[in-house]
Amino acid sequence: RMTAYILINVDEVDRFAGRRMPMFKNLVQLSAVSMKRAYHSQMEEKERMASFIATTNITDSLADPTGNRRFIGIELTQPIDVTTPPNHNQLYAQVMHLLDKGECYWFDAEQTQLIMSHNRQFQAQEPAMICFNDMFEPCADEHEGQWCNTAIILTRLRKRYGSAMV
């Protein structure tokens, strides 16, 4: 399917959470797919054509602390019109026209930074970071705040949230 379709829908992508997310991320970024067709003895490599679209009901579904440049989070504010089928021929024609004109089909460094900045609103946070952000905030002027080392921070977190804070 990755070599034949232009768009693959993954419903409830959050089911890939945890240990399976790296496998899914790897699948999303593959530029080519190795496969062995039925009744053939040799493996062959085909270019991946597909992009992915995914759904989830979880607003903090992006969990990679190094960045989520492979995803563009969009929150729907109203139901999707499923009564009008998309004009696939027209969409395909528009894509081909843009590619024929030489439009980039990848994001440059600046666009990647914008995507990662936008996606922060969908970033999952570790419970310890939620507690930390609840207790501490950066100062606009570094001379106004109080400098704390990690031992002081941990002591304050444990005092408020209990010994489970490791």
Please report the DSSP string for 53-111 in residue order: EE--S-TT-B--TT--TT------SS----SS---HHHHHHHHHHHHHTT--SS--HHH
Residue 122 has pLDDT above 80, yes or no: yes
CA distances from 98 to 11, 102, 137 (A): 28, 7, 46
For the ranges 85-94, 138-147, 149-158, which has the lowest average pLDDT?
A: 138-147
Query: pLDDT digit string (tens) for 47-71?
Result: 888 888 888 888 877 777 666 777 7
114 pLDDT band, cuts 50/70/90, is very high
Identify the sign of the CA torsion 76, 78, 84, 87. negative
Would you state the pLDDT for residue 18? 67
